[in-house]
Structure 1
Amino acid sequence: MTPLQDKATGCVAGAAVGDALGGATEGWTPEQIVQRYGGQVEGVVPPYNTDWRNARPIAPYHKGDGHITDDTLMTHALIRVYERAGGHLDAYSAADHLVPELMGARVWIPELEAEALPLQRIFLAEKWIVARLHYGHVDPREAGTGNIVNCGAAMYMAPVGIVNAADPDAAYAEAVDLAGAHQSSYGREAAGVMAAAVAEAMRPGATVDSVVATTLRLAKDGTRAAIDAVCSAARGLGHWDGSFEVLRAAMRPFDTVADTYRDQGLGARRPSRTHSIEELPLALAFLVIAKGDYRETVLGGVNYGRDADSIASMGGAVAGALGGLAAVPGEWVEQVGTASRTDLVAPGLVIAELAERIHRQDLARRRAHEDAFAALSEGERA
């Protein structure tokens, strides 16, 4: 593999594995997780609720047992969108390519144990994309306005970082544009920052410190403040075990979701310049505590609970991009791939090849601009 392929497959497979492991513990507290599993989770485990079909009738999904969730379904869908578009994406790409992907292409959905449209599994905040763009005919650049503000856009933005590998500024700009069709406010901001974190992690020689510094340089408002506060708290911690109360205290001023995760007040998930999603700052915090180690980054997110699948998926994407495919435990890749009936490595190879192709297009465009500007600045003055 080339370094690009290695880092891309590490990122995409790493995100999927984190997603699958965290799916089992999503929505619960660290104490509940320990009680349910007789200790902290260290790998693939069964569903939190054994009667998963009836435990939550509105969401009868088979989480756990190594099943990927909607985070990975959306990530893989976005990679297919890049294949169709053949170039950089924007909000109109969501209307032209992502919507047909969500409502017209049947795929295997592990949590449903059936082939179905992604639209039949994704969360309401993601169904918004189809409702607004396909049925509402809203301007794609404004379609995210009015949606609940959550991590829905950030959770699948890793491919944008790979396409813009080693150029976090470009990744941020592309993700913010694309995410306008899905999210607004700090949800859209987090999408840009997540893409930038992956783009920096793809750079040869990147470190945990350089990733965090990149996010702080580009992030705005509450998102920046939350990342700064939570990562600062993380630097004083030696392991994720025992870190949860400290990290939650650092995140609490910026989070609109209650300490009791499923009990949300009137201010939850509403637009704000002072707030932030919880998932991205926590993912970066566990990356800091683990010093970039993939396994420990993911297990921190898994055992933290709350939105564990998205925290572990985001942390896994960045750690996987930093360390490459070998950093992602092979037994986990095999277990999750087999349980989900999904190739976790192939999509990373696809997006790596697309990144090379798009980079060649960028070079040609840049050189044409350089030639044109040189003619403007070096020619005879009027």
Structure 2
Amino acid sequence: MYDKTTENDQNALTPSLADRVTAALVGAAVGDALGGPVEGYSPAQILARHGGRVTGIVGPWNGDEWRTARPIAPYHKGNGHITDDTLMTHALIRVYAKVRDHLDAHAIAEHLVPDLMTTPRWIPELETETLLLHRLFLAEKWLATRLHYGHADPREAGVGNIVNCGAAMYMAPVGLVNAANPTAAYREALDIAGAHQSSYGREAAGVFAAAVSAACVPGATPASVIDTCLSLAKDGTRTAIEKVAETASAYDATEPALLPLREAITPYDTVGPDYRAPSLDARRPSRLHAIEELPIALGMLLIAGGDYREAVLGAVNYGRDCDSIATMTGALAGALGSPPPTTWSEQVATASKLDLDSPARTLTEVAQEIFARDVALRRAHESAFSTLGSALCSA
């Protein structure tokens, strides 16, 4: 069919960097808040608990008993509260704001860990202001243990930690700083994540950052994002994404795909069928396995055609580690240009007592500074290399 859209119309429809950064970061936070109250449960349990699929912000699984009810206590998951996924994402943005350049594992040791350990912040799930370190689970407390107390080499500090999505869940800013340059995003995220994770946990961090970067390419689609991931991903991570994408491609709605997607990821996931009772082989280094969260997020994105609401609600109702799955899904949909519904983002911002737009403004500004510096460095390199070539030809 002939496309009557003019170039000016296409430019008007193409989201700007600021639009994409905002949609990705706010979208990730909203997905996080929607997934939090049903994290750890199966689609069947979610269906029974809520009398249907979750279609928006819901309250805690155990109602008013959230402070004492196991296994979640004492975290107030629900009612629009963001979790550690968003808290860590914002912490990484603060590091970018301070360094104002590309980051590496040493920046995590020098800036992120002190932020976690020394500056009180509002923690929505605890309904109090305290150190972010107090909210983090043991896999994330590893950062402080290894880098602050153990004085490990930051580039190797992630070795020995359980292998999970802990590093991947907050890597969206790396993809946004390297917008439309997935290879650079992949490499930077791998370096950063070396301080936190190893094996397929570290690999997922790199691939997720690359996916967010690829989603920022003008004209990108869920399929092109997945193709980029497959071009960069290694070992079990690549195979898991490929198999989940193959399954997802057979569906045009997320509801009927919930169980098939779980079946597709099962051979690569080490946690096992009972999310709260992991297998003895769970979360150990392997070249054959993958985290569950990223492939499923990509699958939801593909099924929904990049639509935020459909993709994120699919991730939420999938259950298991659905706050992280929905965080990744929301970031990817937002980067593609599909922002979260305003009613949801306003509810989450109010409930969590956070300005969700401020981190996006900060990261956009930093990304533009870094890009300008990268261009100058690239031009200097081109000039130097051309001079070397000319000297060779004249010799």
Task: Specify if TM > 0.5.
Answer: yes
Correspondent of 1:287 among 295, 301, 312: 301
Correspondent of 2:45 among 27, 32, 37: 32
Correspondent of 2:107 among 87, 90, 93: 93
AA of the residue aligned to 1:378 = S
Question: What is aligned with 1:12?
Answer: 25
AA of the residue aligned to 1:167 = N
1:139 aligns with 2:136: no
Residues 66, 72 of structure 2: 8 Å contact kept: no
Which range is displaced more, 238-247 or 67-76? 238-247
Any residues of structure 2 matched to 1:186-197 within 5 Å, and which?
186-197=200-211
CA distance in 2, matches of 1:333, 1:83: 23
Question: What is aligned with 2:269?
Answer: 255
1:350 aligns with 2:353: no
Return the TM-score normalized by structure 1.
0.98
Question: What is aligned with 1:49?
Answer: 62
Residues 169, 205 of structure 2: 8 Å contact kept: yes
Return the TM-score normalized by structure 2.
0.94
CA distance in 2, matches of 1:93, 1:49: 39
Which range is displaced more, 167-176 or 236-245? 236-245
Measured against aligned partners, the alpha-carbon deviations of 1:230-267 in whole angstroms (never above 9, x if no partner) come to 01100001211121111111100000011111111211
Question: What is aligned with 1:318?
Answer: 332
Cα RMSD after superposing both structures: 1.2
Q: Secondary structure at the match of 2:122?
A: strand
CA distance in 2, matches of 1:290, 1:57: 32
Which range is displaced more, 67-76 or 339-348? 339-348
Measured against aligned partners, the alpha-carbon deviations of 1:23-48 in whole angstroms (never above 9, x if no partner) come to 01100011111111111100000011
- Cα distance, 1:2 vs structure 2: 7.1
Question: What is aligned with 2:213?
Answer: 199
1:330 aligns with 2:342: yes
CA distance in 2, matches of 1:106, 1:239: 42
CA distance in 1, matches of 2:56, 2:368: 34
Question: What is aligned with 1:270?
Answer: 284
Measured against aligned partners, the alpha-carbon deviations of 1:249-297 in whole angstroms (never above 9, x if no partner) come to 1100000011111111211000000000000000000001101000011
Correspondent of 1:21 among 34, 38, 50: 34
- Cα distance, 1:56 vs structure 2: 2.5
AA of the residue aligned to 2:54 = V
CA distance in 1, matches of 2:289, 2:303: 23
Is the alpha carbon distance of 1:340 and 1:157 closer, same or farther for their aligned partners in structure 2, counting shifts above 3 Å? same
Question: What is aligned with 1:74?
Answer: 88
AA of the residue aligned to 2:201 = G
Any residues of structure 2 matched to 1:162-173 within 5 Å, and which?
162-173=176-187
Residues 83, 124 of structure 2: 8 Å contact kept: yes
CA distance in 2, matches of 1:206, 1:287: 12
CA distance in 1, matches of 2:71, 2:270: 25
Q: Secondary structure at the match of 1:107?
A: strand
CA distance in 2, matches of 1:245, 1:266: 23
Q: Secondary structure at the match of 1:359?
A: helix
Any residues of structure 2 matched to 1:107-126 within 5 Å, and which?
107-126=121-140
CA distance in 2, matches of 1:59, 1:75: 23
Aligned length: 380
Any residues of structure 2 matched to 1:152-191 within 5 Å, and which?
152-191=166-205
CA distance in 1, matches of 2:309, 2:361: 22
- Cα distance, 1:86 vs structure 2: 1.1
CA distance in 1, matches of 2:223, 2:172: 19
CA distance in 2, matches of 1:127, 1:58: 18
1:339 aligns with 2:339: no
- Cα distance, 1:59 vs structure 2: 4.4
- Cα distance, 1:57 vs structure 2: 6.6
| Ranges of 4+ aligned residues in structure 1 off by more than 4 Å | none
% same residue: 63
Question: What is aligned with 1:216?
Answer: 230
Where in structure 1 are there 5+ consecutive unaligned residues? none
